Structure 1
Amino acid sequence: MHTPLVFIDGDQGTTGLQIHARLQGRRDLRLLTLPDAERKHPQRRREAINAADIALLCLPDEAAREAVATLDNPAVRVIDASSAHRTTAGWVYGLPELDEQQAERIAQATRVSNPGCYPTGAIALLRPLIRDGLLPADYPLSIHAISGYSGGGRAAVERHEAHAGQAAPALQLYGLELAHKHVPEIQLHAGLSARPMFLPGYAAYRQGIVLSIPLQLRLLPGRPSAEQLQASLERHYQGARHVQVMPLHQHGPATPLDPQALNDSNDLRLALYANPEHGQVLLTAVFDNLGKGASGAAVQNLDLMLAAMAG
């Protein structure tokens, strides 16, 4: 029986290292990695990617495009963890919980684009509500998210940890030009017709994301209740292994959200907070930017492909 060969291109970056760690000890696959001296050698990388059954690209966007261009073997299947192909026609979006058929699409695909960390939370919250007609596709959305500093990649981690965090501010917002590269991805896969505002930030902890989206119920068609929004999410994620929909919070003091609560897991926790008196609802998501936001999602997609190959 053939044991699939998996090549991680870019296994020394933050995502690549995490994927490598998650696959250690697996007996249902063989890992192909290049020695340090060959990692940047074009011909050795070309040979490795064409020898693989599945290639995991953990590269900057342009390098990921170049890697795909070197593919001569039509049998090689690709999971791209960069943002290079997330809105590219012909690539399957690697969020298995997107709808009822997405996991099967990923399992059969030859080209899968792994979701971005922030878009994972935003799309998970918005798409069910838009699909059910509770949230207009042109609603003036504002998305705010804070990530651990590992969201900035290996260089950001080394820069922060070299000074034991002393040189980094406790919180810094970025993307202030309102042109973050994740916005088109969120708009496309959430099903939005209008561009949302997106404001991200990094905080002085290593990993974990808390993302929030405020809604004014009076601006929604039919003025749905918080309970209707809650029910939409519960229906969409019923039976989803990696997505938790928490009970609706609208009475009494709410427990503060901890962005690090799901670190080192591949889980995504969604929760709605409502103030019925003022007609306001806050959609929230908590997850690990290195887990469900990156390497965990890549391994989840890999496992779907491997199961299809074995079956």
Structure 2
Amino acid sequence: MAPKIFIDGEHGTTGLQIVSRLQDRSDIDLMSMPAEQRRDPEVRTKFLREADVAILCLPDDAARGAVALASDAGTRFIDASTAHRTDPAWAFGFAELSDGQAARIAAAQFVSNPGCYSTGAIALIAPLIAAGLLPTDYPVTINAVSGYTGGGKQMIAQMEDASRDDAITAAYFAYALTLAHKHVPEIMRHAGITRRPVFTPAVGRFAQGMLVNVPLHLDLTDASSVAEIHAALDIHYGGSEIVNVVSLADGAPPRLDPEELAGTDRMKLYVCGLEGSGQVNLVASLDNLGKGASGAAVQNLDLMIGG
């Protein structure tokens, strides 16, 4: 019998993307509440408890509530909210994080889907911590730009409807300037850093795509060269069909396009810098709704159901 999959919050941005990835698959039974019953708590509870896997595309409090409604029924969860990303009882849904992470996800009842910015930052930092090249207390700086779909339906409307009173007309804007972005705790926990990073996210006037930049001073690390940094990342992700490591040592860096991987579920990690300069510029390129959200959720689902 095909596993029953229920997307709680299927009409939000991430939920719609997950539906589009799953709706034509014959190996699963995709459950969907009738539109007229979406606000009926009894119907929702029934769907949650009957599902083999529930994918939560909800605000944090609603996600916690959904888990409370059905965890005792044996329902397995993939939570796309921030609610459980630092909870040790939940498997972190970044399969490439370590050798055993995919197996942990596959066996878990509870899986937390990473944030989009977090995916890029953790992908760059965690392998260097694990290899002993980056001290856990390194003063990490993260600069990033995302497509506006990461802001959800309200931001999409503000960006795409110029007639709105609250329309956003800027080509690009930085935010979270208090340095209190919700992704910081999960970056620290899963990248393995102990010093709070300076994280400056931004939104550009493009729908999907993302660049996450982590610059390093080699004299503050235990790495001796750009090549050593590249080798550590290349070894960590060797053989991955999803994450590709690109070295630009001794070459002029190209202009990196944040829309490079829009519409895909892959990620590229760029290792930039002139050998001997003492500096490395690391950049992760991904789709904020692909590997950064719905694509990762489907990857985790496939691990959980053995797909």
When the two structures are superposed, what TM-score results if normalisation uses the length of structure 2? 0.96
Label 1:164 to 1:238 Cα distance change in 2 as closer, same or farther (>3 A): farther
Any idea what the Cα deviations from partners look like across 1:241-300, whole Å, max 9, x if unmatched? 110111x21324221101111111110100111123431100110000000000000000
Instruction: Give CA deviations for 1:133-183 in whole Å, capped at 9, x if unaligned.
Output: 100000001000000111101111122112299842011000100010100
| Other-structure match for 1:208 | 209
Amino acid across the alignment from 1:117: C
Match of 2:43 in 1: 44
How far did 1:107 drift? 0.5
Aligned to 1:129: 128
1:294 partner SS: helix
Partner of 2:24: 25
Question: Aligned runs of 1:37-76 on 2, under 5 Å?
Answer: 37-71=36-70, 73-76=72-75
Partner Cα distance (1:295, 1:75) in 2: 23
- Which residue pairs with 2:229 in the alignment? 229
Alpha-carbon shift at residue 69 of structure 1 (Å): 1.2
Displacement of 1:36 in angstroms is 1.7
Q: Which runs of 5+ in 2 are unaligned?
A: none
> C-alpha distance in 2, partners of 1:72/1:142?
38
Q: CA deviation at 1:39?
A: 1.5
Counterpart of 2:193?
A: 192
Partner SS, residue 128 of structure 2: helix
- How many residue pairs end up in the alignment? 305
For 1:83-122, list aligned pairs within 5 A. Answer: 83-122=82-121
Contact 2:144–2:200 (Cα < 8 Å) also in 1: yes
User: Is residue 243 from structure 1 mapped to residue 223 from structure 2 by the alignment?
Assistant: no
Take 2:3 and 2:130, find their aligned partners in 1: how far apart are those partners? 37
Instruction: Name segments (4+ residues, structure 1) moved above 3 Å.
Output: 164-167
Counterpart of 1:123 in 2: which secondary structure? helix
Q: Which runs of 5+ in 1 are unaligned?
A: none
CA distance in 1, matches of 2:163, 2:199: 29
Using a 3 Å threshold, how does the CA distance of structure 1 residues 48 and 130 change in structure 2: closer, same or farther?
A: same
For residues 99 and 274 of structure 1, do their structure 2 counterparts lie closer, same or farther at Cα, with a shift above 3 Å needed?
Answer: same
Q: How much is the aligned-residue C-alpha RMSD, in angstroms?
A: 1.4
* C-alpha separation in 2, matches of 1:68 and 1:9: 11
Give the counterpart letter for 1:298 in structure 2. A
Moved more, 154-163 or 141-150: 154-163
CA deviation after TM superposition for structure 1 residue 75, in Å: 1.9
Q: Match of 1:172, as an amino acid?
A: F
Secondary structure in 2 matching 1:45:
helix
Superposition map of 1:270-281 within 5 A: 270-281=269-280
Partner of 2:306: helix, strand, or coil?
helix
Q: Which residue of 2 aligns with 1:282?
A: 281
Provide the C-alpha distance between the structure 1 equivalents of 2:168 and 2:151, rounded to a whole number of angstroms.
Answer: 15
DSSP 3-state at the match of 1:278: coil
What SS does structure 2 have at the residue aligned with 1:130?
helix
Alpha carbons 2:227, 2:249 under 8 Å: kept: no
Alpha-carbon distance between aligned partners in 2 of 1:64 and 1:130, rounded to the nearest angstrom: 31
Are 1:152 and 2:151 counterparts? yes
Q: Distance in 1 between matches of 2:92 and 2:168?
A: 37
Which is worse superposed, 272-281 or 187-196?
272-281
Instruction: Provide, for residues 9-32 of structure 1, a one-character-per-residue CA deviation record: whole Å limited to 9, x for no partner.
Output: 000000000000000210000111
Task: Please give the alpha-carbon distance, in whole angstroms, between the structure 2 residues aligned to 1:147 and 1:170.
Answer: 12
Aligned partners of 1:40, 1:283: CA distance in 2, in Å? 45
